[in-house]
Amino acid sequence: MGLQARSKQRKLQPCPVPSAFPHSPPPLGPRLRAAPSGLCPAHALTAYRHRQCACAVPGCGLGGSGLAVQRRAVPCRPLEQVATMPVQLLKFIKGKLETQLPSHLQREDLKQLQTGLDHSNKYFQDTFVVAGFKVAESPTAREDGRHACHLQVSEEAGSAIYICTQPSTSPFSETTSASVAPKYVYTPLNCLKDGTVVNLYGIVKFFKPPYISKGTDYCSVVTLVDQSNEKLTCTLFNGNLESLPKIYKNGDIVRFHRVKIREYNGQMQGITSAGFASLTFDGTVGAPVVPRASSKVYTFIDEEQKTVEELRIWAASNLSVPGPEAKLSDVKPMMFFDLTCQLVGKAKVDGSSFLLKVWDGTKCPYPTWKVPVEEKELEGDKALLHRLRNVTVDVLAYDNHVQLAKSLKIGSFLRIYSIHTKQASATNEDISSHIEFHLHGGTCYGRGIGILPENNADVEELKTFLECVDLTDSQNMENMSSLELGDTFDNYTDLESPLQRCQQLSATVLTDHQDMSNTMLKTVLNSRAPQQYRIRAKLRSFKPQKLYQSVKLHCSKCNTLQEVPDGDAFDLILQGCAATAPNPELQSMSWYESVMWTTQEEKERKITIHFVKHYEMLQRPENTLLMIEGGTLKEIWKLTRRFKCVIPVKSKEDDLELLDLSAPFLLQGNIKYYGCKKCSNPKSIENLSSLAEKREPSWEPTEIAQVLGIELLQYVFVMKFTLVDGTGALNAYLFDYEKFFQIPASEILTNSFLQQKMEMTMNTLSPPGRKLGQFAVLEGDKNGKDLLVCCYVCRVLEFSLHLGKNQK
DNA sequence: TTAGGGTTCG
């Protein structure tokens, strides 16, 4: 599609040149951004409709026809909201224009565009996508012979203009629409006008977490501030909780699209308009810039990442948003505070109040109020509630909070805003007065309940903390019954029962290898390998007893096994690399976008993250591969929770390179991928760009390893089972790449749940301290779903012989 | 429509 645009001649009111906003382009009218291959973001061009402009800046006097193009950040007048662009269709046949453009127009390369030159008779050719337009009759069609219709676009109607930037494909193929980036204009908070619909960036100064309004929707009230120091309070409604901004604390940064501005009580006020959408970011300087989106589809470009980082820095030095956060161990009588906690139990108390039993792993220094509730009303794992009884507190939620409180899921992580601690007056029966926790009715001071997602940084921290809590310190041993003491001393009692219930290994009817009859072990032992048998045996013992020791790394090329390096070794390598400063010349190359910052710790450290682009654009975090220089182990783990792939690198003179292969060359989720030192032949890191150019990069570890010249080591279970059936004892060696009882070898080292599962599986197969006759009988299916399988054992035998040959 | 920031009945 070809598209010519010409601005409509309109008179504009003079407007003061906006003050410089480092985070935001000047408040211009609709803009287009072209970022063709090889054009760095700093030189990205901004094109916008433009009339004979009274702006004195050189380059602005481009006249009223043609497509005006200017460097961004050149102050100019804001344009009116409604644009009218005559449209004429140009036909292309085999990539060539069938219709001739007027002869006075000369084609301009986007890279050559610059200010100060006359572009009246220039055109450039790219693929545009215009969305959200109105079609109107062209008033000049008769005179100028153009198309009878033209398109009207306006920000208010949510119009967007896109330019395709796919470098390698013909700009006229159908596939180009796959990578387009809309461009939005963000209005500083001191430039808002009544009756407009705008896009905004701001730092959250105050917010009310979404609550159920008296109408039909959820409501959230958010007060923003930006570098202009102007405030804006927005009242946001939506029937869907998920569509409201995911703000968790003051200081978060938000991007709002399509906020309607109104004047109310002499002040500007924001309100949701049709198509309202938001992104929310952690406001902490240096934290990964990961959007929490209120809609499934959104755009977020590199330039905006800088906006967020600049807002963070501005906020750090210009705003103080001391949150009233506190741990249970910090509470005092008569205070209001925000509590980040996990929900352990809940109960209906009466019509106007609802009980939440929560903990944060710390202990309140005062005796706490226990709200009496009927046993049948209390929801939650009774054993867990009992175990945690001295570290949970009862929070009573009233009135409008009851409905939301009722709907909360046990085990979820919450932030309860503005809990009030109240000291109950001492009575005769209760000399030692206790503290009560109230979430009063209403939404004053942001009072309410927020549900935090599992990947929230504070939740991650809390979870880690909760896992380490030693409950024995908080148990009052003297008052415990003998039964309770039993609970305390047997750490597994509470955990084991639900787990066991879920994972009990039942006797199964074998479905695999029904064609084979069982063979006695004596016969197997007297046979020559290789052969396949089906056996029925009991597991007498297995090694190693410490199951994590059964996981090794195997190189299928040189057939060597090695231990999985521990985290300390990786940490040491990272520390060594952090001493080398990132090479500034390797920042933001054509295929990746870099962000560098310096930590504020005592010993300053430079961290650089290189985000690999896909068709010139950053992808959603969950699809993004990034490379990191100078990060610590903890930081790298944090990144792996949000991004698809993390590759630790260091700068050398002319390229980035992988670290020593004692360190993982790739991290995905909680899996560290290693390369064989002997068989790998590392290639240039730039080879990753070939994967990024794929239509949908899968970022498979095998593919990444291949392009980087790495011989990927595979995680394997290596175990020895001694099987008996009364006729003999057979050692069977397990060598399994994939899964053993649905437990992936690559994940067991970092997953305590899988470790417990494996331990229980093995204990069921070979219970410690029991007689042989009580052992589980080993059979099963080849998927390893229930018990060891005959074919499984056969494979093990074959492999053991194979290994035996190699070792000899 | 709802709410339009500014703590507490319990």
Q: What is the DSSP string of A651-692?
A: E-SSSEEE--TTS-SEEETTEEE-B-TTT-----GGGHHHHH
Could you tell me if A170 and A193 lie in one domain?
Answer: no
Instruction: Say if residues A387 and A471 touch (Cβ distance below 8 Å).
Output: yes
Residue of A639, A686, A616, A698 whose CA lies nearest to A658: A686
**What is the spatial distance, in angstroms and rounded to an integer, between the CA atom of A364 and the C1' atom of B9?**
25
Instruction: Say if residues A418 and A444 touch (Cβ distance below 8 Å).
Output: yes
Return mean pLDDT, chain A.
72
How far is Cα A303 from Cα A373, in angstroms, rounded to an integer? Answer: 54
Q: Of A137-141, A242-246, A534-538, A697-701, which gets the smallest average pLDDT? A: A137-141
How far is Cα A808 from Cα A804, in angstroms, rounded to an integer? Answer: 6
The listed range with the strongest mean pLDDT (A497-511, A622-636, A782-796) is: A622-636
Residue A139 confidence (pLDDT):
53
β pairing state of A592-598 and A606-612: antiparallel
| Residues of A 443-472 whose CB lies less than 7 Å from any atom of strand B | 443-447
Could you tell me if A339 and A388 lie in one domain?
Answer: yes
Angle between the N-to-C axes of helices A633-642 and A457-468, in degrees from 0 to 180, rounded to the nearest 10: 120
Residue A433 confidence (pLDDT):
72
- Tell me whether residue A463 is in a domain: yes
Instruction: Look up residue A426 and give its amino acid.
Output: A
Could you tell me if A344 and A491 lie in one domain?
Answer: yes
How far is Cα A142 from Cα A789, in angstroms, rounded to an integer? Answer: 83
More confident residue, A746 or A449: A449
Q: Is A754 helix (H, G, I), strand (E, B) or coil?
A: helix
Residue of A662, A684, A664, A511 whose CA lies nearest to A589: A684
Angle between the N-to-C axes of helices A633-642 and A567-578, in degrees from 0 to 180, rounded to the nearest 10: 100
DSSP for residue A613: P
Percent of chain A with pLDDT over 90: 37
* A206 is near strand B: CB distance < 7 Å: yes
What's the start-to-end Cα distance of chain A, in Å?
Answer: 70
Domain boundary among A179, A206, A228: A179
pLDDT class for A543, splitting at 50, 70, 90? confident
* A418 is near strand B: CB distance < 7 Å: yes
Residue of A404, A394, A392 whose CA lies nearest to A441: A404
Residues paired with A223 in a beta bridge: A206, A233
C1' of nucleotide B2: residue with nearest CA: A215
Instruction: Say if residues A188 and A27 touch (Cβ distance below 8 Å).
Output: yes
Residue of A320, A346, A341 whose CA lies nearest to A330: A341
Residue A135 confidence (pLDDT):
73
Could you tell me if A353 and A208 lie in one domain?
Answer: no
- Tell me whether residue A8 is in a domain: no
Peptide bond into A530 cis (omega under 30): yes
Instruction: Say if residues A767 and A760 touch (Cβ distance below 8 Å).
Output: no
**What is the spatial distance, in angstroms and rounded to an integer, between the CA atom of A521 and the C1' atom of B6?**
80
**What is the spatial distance, in angstroms and rounded to an integer, between the CA atom of A766 and the C1' atom of B6?**
65
- Tell me whether residue A531 is in a domain: yes
Is it the case that residue A513 has pLDDT exceeding 70?
Answer: no
- Tell me whether residue A649 is in a domain: yes
Write the CB contacts of A220 (distance below 8 Å, at least 6 apart in sequence).
Answer: A207, A208, A209, A210, A211, A236, A244, A245, A247
HEC secondary structure over A526-591: CCCCCCCCECCEEEEEEECCCHHHHEEEECCCCCCEEECCCHHHHHHHHHHHHCCCCCHHHCCCCC
pLDDT class for A496, splitting at 50, 70, 90? very low
Domain boundary among A318, A343, A359: A318
For the residues A608-637, what does the mean pLDDT come to?
88
Could you tell me if A394 and A435 lie in one domain?
Answer: yes
* A401 is near strand B: CB distance < 7 Å: no
C1' of nucleotide B6: residue with nearest CA: A445
Write the CB contacts of A23 (distance below 8 Å, at least 6 apart in sequence).
Answer: A201, A226, A227, A306, A307, A310, A311, A314
What positions of strand B are covered by protein, i.e. any atom < 7 Å from a CB? Answer: 1-10
Residue A427 confidence (pLDDT):
53
Using C1' positions and the CA of A396, the closest nucleotide is B10
Could you tell me if A481 and A544 lie in one domain?
Answer: no
Residue of A241, A252, A237 whose CA lies nearest to A311: A252
**What is the spatial distance, in angstroms and rounded to an integer, between the CA atom of A212 and the C1' atom of B3?**
11
How far is Cα A775 from Cα A110, in angstroms, rounded to an integer? Answer: 76
Could you tell me if A681 and A575 lie in one domain?
Answer: yes
Could you tell me if A205 and A170 lie in one domain?
Answer: no
**Residue A20: other Cβ atoms inside 10 A:** 10
Using C1' positions and the CA of A336, the closest nucleotide is B7
How far is Cα A640 from Cα A186, in angstroms, rounded to an integer? Answer: 31
Q: How many domains does chain A have?
A: 5
Could you tell me if A300 and A378 lie in one domain?
Answer: no
Taking 3-state DSSP, the helix, strand and coil percentages for chain A, each rounded to the nearest 5, stand at 25, 30, 45
What is the greatest pairwise CA distance in chain A?
A: 103
- Tell me whether residue A696 is in a domain: no
C1' of nucleotide B1: residue with nearest CA: A215
For the residues A259-288, what does the mean pLDDT come to?
94
How far is Cα A245 from Cα A247, in angstroms, rounded to an integer? Answer: 6
CATH number at residue A789: 2.40.50
* A423 is near strand B: CB distance < 7 Å: no
CA A103 from chain center: how many Å? 52
Residue A116 confidence (pLDDT):
61
Write the CB contacts of A424 (distance below 8 Å, at least 6 apart in sequence).
Answer: A369, A430, A433, A434, A435, A436
Could you tell me if A611 and A723 lie in one domain?
Answer: no
- Tell me whether residue A197 is in a domain: yes
Residue A796 confidence (pLDDT):
35
How far is Cα A72 from Cα A76, in angstroms, rounded to an integer? Answer: 10
Residue A343 confidence (pLDDT):
97
Domain boundary among A130, A152, A179: A179
Using C1' positions and the CA of A217, the closest nucleotide is B2
Residue A198 confidence (pLDDT):
96
| Residues of A 492-531 whose CB lies less than 7 Å from any atom of strand B | none
Residue A317 confidence (pLDDT):
81
For the residues A3-27, what does the mean pLDDT come to?
27
Instruction: Say if residues A631 and A607 touch (Cβ distance below 8 Å).
Output: yes
Give me A800's structure tokens. Answer: 């053991």
The listed range with the strongest mean pLDDT (A123-137, A441-455, A466-480, A488-502) is: A441-455
The listed range with the strongest mean pLDDT (A244-248, A292-296, A451-455) is: A244-248
Structural domain span for residue A529: 518-550+716-802
- Tell me whether residue A220 is in a domain: yes
* A216 is near strand B: CB distance < 7 Å: yes
For the residues A259-279, what does the mean pLDDT come to?
96
Q: Exposed/middle/buried for A58, CB within 10 Å: 0-12, 13-18, 19+?
A: exposed
CA A625 from chain center: how many Å? 12
How far is Cα A213 from Cα A223, in angstroms, rounded to an integer? Answer: 18
Could you tell me if A741 and A600 lie in one domain?
Answer: no
Could you tell me if A212 and A338 lie in one domain?
Answer: no
CATH number at residue A402: 2.40.50.140
Give me A75's structure tokens. Answer: 């102050």
Question: For tokens 């619909």, what's the residue?
Answer: A197
Q: Exposed/middle/buried for A137, CB within 10 Å: 0-12, 13-18, 19+?
A: exposed
Is it the case that residue A661 has pLDDT exceeding 80?
Answer: yes
C1' of nucleotide B5: residue with nearest CA: A445
- Tell me whether residue A367 is in a domain: yes
Percent of chain A with pLDDT over 70: 62
**What is the spatial distance, in angstroms and rounded to an integer, between the CA atom of A208 and the C1' atom of B4?**
13
Give me A8's structure tokens. Answer: 């409509």
How far is Cα A566 from Cα A572, in angstroms, rounded to an integer? Answer: 11
Residue A219 confidence (pLDDT):
97
